[in-house]
Amino acid sequence: MAFPLKLTAIAVAIAAASSASIAASALDLGKVEQAAPAQPLTVTIALPLRDRDAATRYLLDMHTQGSANFHKFLTPAEFRALFAPSDASVARVSARLQAAGLNVKRVGSALLQVSGPAAVVQKAFGAEVHVFQKQASSSGSASRFISPVKATAPSVDLSDVQAVIGLDSRPHFRPHIRQLPNGLKPIAAKSVGVTAGNAPGQWTVTDLARHYDITPLYNKGIHGQGATIGIVTLASFTPSDAFQYWNQLGLKTDPNRLSVVDIDGGPGAPSDEGGSDETTLDVEQSGGVAPGAKIIVYQAPNTTQGFVDAFAQAIESNAADTLSVSWGEWEWFDDQAQAVNPVGGKSANVLQVYHDLFLQAALQGQTMFAAAGDSGAYDVNRAAPLPQFNKVLSVDSPANQSFITAAGGTTVPATLTLQSKDGKATQVKIPTERAWGWDYLSGFCQAAGKDPVACGIFPVGGGGGVSAFINRPFYQSWIPHMLNSPAGQQLVDSSQTPPQVVATVPGNFKGRNLPDVSLNADPETGYVMYYTSSQNGFGILANNGGTSFVAPQLAGITALLNQSLGSRIGLLNLSLYSLLATGHAYHGFGHHGAPFREVSAGGNWGYNAHRGYNQATGIGVPNVANLDAVLKRYFF
């Protein structure tokens, strides 16, 4: 791991908000103990693992055939015994906090939950915390939040502490779902090269199964029985939507397959603004791909603490074989997210906390997927919109992490018929599967007299690029076409006079490349969703997309593979990049067909697809039946 960026005053302001609009619309109500005297404070403390390098070597060992530890995944208790902070270290930190008048409970292998009266918590951690009121709020969005405004000297020795998370409760993570902007919904769409099924834009999981050759597994009776899918999310949902979707498709599902775990009190009632459509599609897609699997939804408030605690619960319980998340934010925000961190006066680096959690998941054999984003190669520009901010090549967190599989997006072959304002019909032909980037709509927008930003197509596309904060993982070390982070990337706020530099991103950093694999994610060729809107009631909505769909679909595919292989897979990237490095990703082994198809057309506005690995689609798109056969023959 490497975290080279330093805080500046303006960087603190934008990082803490994760959006320029939040701070501007909030009213400071004063110190938390005055504005909300009955409100206790609860924070999550992260302690460092004993030996991260040793844990990574152990992970590689358990994926090496012939090793005594091959596929001997750890239990949470075994992980604690080998790699977690020692009991003595936990006891030492706990004793200091308890002496300060705080309650302490261990909630993860390296996490403690600490709570107490607001004044006591602030004194212990050296932070003055205020309550803020959002001046313009609507249903589903927390109208009040807390945030630290300045640091003081902590009264507790925090030398053994890595991060303190929870002194800021602003909602700032974004779901990676996309709908079509006005004027871009096709009046007709037909598939190219597919003879049956629904039209692009109205796909269901059955169309996905046909296109990516999942159907042969179903024909063998493999539907995910015995596997459990975990969904980590920051919004609640209406479970009946998912069952209605599955029933309409004729899928046989257990009425008791679905369970919900509320983290940190849960995210509240379902709402459109809160992102309930995201959770809904996550459940529908993962459970539709693997109708025989069980599903656990870990739902938390949209805060950094909620996100970390939800991952911790999903990993520490070890109940889910595969985990999917479709929320995230620009990785710099996670690097600098805690504006005031008591530990050494530095930012609380959430990226390191994710790293340790996901390493534990990988050692336990849990396969994780994260949506890579839906703002193409310019992830930050979803939160920092043009033209107030400039475009910056950037990637999403937590998809940037080494121990998670980053899910990218494509556009499947189709002929789209779009209608301009004057009523003229224009055909857009997509002859082959390509990287998802709406640059292919530029001609239509130009004919309408709009530039790509005004038309709503820039920078929409599958997330991908190079991390400027996460070191390149060992499994990507010898892969052709890996890139370093681009030079000269600064986020500048042009609404100020003079324009202010918000962030300078490290260039030429040998970082993690993403995505890893891709599936259809373009709303133009996307999916139907059954959804109960908090504003409009129940509806069947077409032309939904985003890498939000790909992550849960891959989790569902992995549940099928788990059943077929009779085992958890663990970190999927180790097998995928091994196939790529040995030349078998696109050619297969012997009589086994190729497990992947290269995607060499299109781009995501910043990176073009080409043969082999690329930063627009990763390794490419899977042929699931072939991938199953190759994994079974050569990796299990």
200 and 164 in a single domain? The answer is no
176 domain residue, yes or no:
no
Q: Is residue 222 part of a domain?
A: yes
Could you write out the DSSP letters of every residue in 118-169?
HHHHHHHHTEEEEEEEESS--TTS-SEEEEEEEE---SS--TT--EEE-S--
Nearest CA to 274 out of 141, 134, 137 is that of: 141
Q: Classify residue 576: in a domain, yes or no.
A: yes
Contact 363, 59 (CB under 8 A): yes
Same domain, 238 and 372: yes
Which of 171, 195, 212 is at the close of a domain? Answer: 171
In a shared domain, residues 163 and 191: no
Alpha helices in 321-448 (DSSP H): 331-336, 350-363, 442-447
Express each pLDDT in 213-228 by its tens digit: 999 999 999 999 999 9
Among all chains, which residue has been given the structure tokens 């999903």? Answer: 314
The answer on 221 and 111 residing in a single domain is: no
Confidence band for 194, pLDDT divided at 50, 70 and 90: low
Do 153 and 281 fall within a single domain?
no
Query: Do 138 and 267 fall within a single domain?
Result: no
Cα(569)–Cα(365) distance, integer angstroms: 6
361-373 pLDDT, tens digit per residue, is 999 999 999 999 9
Quickly state the pLDDT bin for 450 (edges 50, 70, 90): very high
Confidence (pTM):
0.94
Mean pLDDT of 111-134: 94
Whether 12 is covered by a domain: the verdict is: no
Longest dimension (CA), the chain: 74
119, 142, 171 - which closes a domain: 171
pLDDT digits (tens, 9 = 90+) for 382-412: 999 999 999 999 999 999 999 999 999 999 9
Could you tell me the pLDDT band of residue 20, with boundaries at 50, 70 and 90? very low
Residues 389 and 510 in one domain: yes
As a whole number, mean pLDDT of residues 270-280 equals: 97
What would the 3-class secondary structure string for 502-513 be? EEECCCCCCEEE
User: Has residue 24 got a pLDDT over 90?
Assistant: no
- One domain for residues 204 and 139: no
Give the range of the structural domain holding residue 35, as residue numbers without chain letter.
20-49+84-171
CB-based contact 558:365 (threshold 8 Å): no
Report which of 264, 48, 50, 45 is spatially closest to residue 156, judged by C-alpha positions: 45
pLDDT at 2 over 50: no
Cα 130 to Cα 145: distance, rounded to the nearest angstrom: 8
Q: What is the pLDDT of the chain when averaged over all its residues?
A: 91
pLDDT at 314: 98
Please give the Cα distance from 406 to 397 (Å, whole number). Answer: 10
Distance CA 450, CA 165 (A): 44
Going by C-alpha positions, the residue among 197, 283, 193 that lies closest to residue 240 is 283
Q: How many domains does the chain have?
A: 2
Q: Are residues 123 and 268 in the same domain?
A: no
Residue 73 lies in a domain: no
Residues 557, 472: contact at Cβ < 8 Å? no
Give the pLDDT confidence score for residue 591 in this predicted structure: 79
Is residue 484 located within the same domain as residue 506? yes
Residue ending a domain, choose from 136, 171, 206: 171
Of 58-62, 103-107, 109-113, 159-163, the range with the lowest mean pLDDT is 159-163
Coil, helix or strand at residue 626: helix
Nearest-Å Rg of the Cα atoms of the chain is: 24
C-alpha to C-alpha distance for 462 and 520, rounded to whole angstroms? 10
- Percent pLDDT > 70 in the chain is 92
Q: Is residue 177 in some structural domain?
A: no
Tell me if 484 is assigned to some domain: yes
Q: What is the pLDDT of residue 549?
A: 98
Reference 626, options 68, 214, 123, 132; nearest CA is 214
Q: Are 408 and 361 within one domain?
A: yes
Token pair for residue 562? 């788990």
**Within-domain flag for 189:** yes
Q: Taking a C-beta distance cutoff of 8 angstroms, is the pair 303, 171 a contact?
A: yes
Q: pLDDT tier at 136 (50, 70, 90 boundaries)?
A: low
CATH number at residue 595: 3.40.50.200
Looking at residue 452, the DSSP 8-state letter turns out to be H
* Long-range Cβ contact pairs of 417-425 (< 8 A, separation 24 or more): 417/186, 417/187, 417/188, 417/189, 418/183, 418/184, 418/185, 418/186, 418/187, 418/444, 419/187, 420/183, 420/444, 420/447, 420/448, 421/183, 421/448, 425/187
Query: Looking at the structure, do residues 163 and 257 belong to the same domain, yes or no?
Result: no
> Residue 464 in 3-state DSSP?
coil
Whether the predicted pLDDT of 173 surpasses 60 = yes
CA quadruple 575, 576, 577, 578: dihedral, nearest 10: 40
Residue 85 carries which DSSP code? Answer: P
Cβ contact 273:230 at 8 Å: no
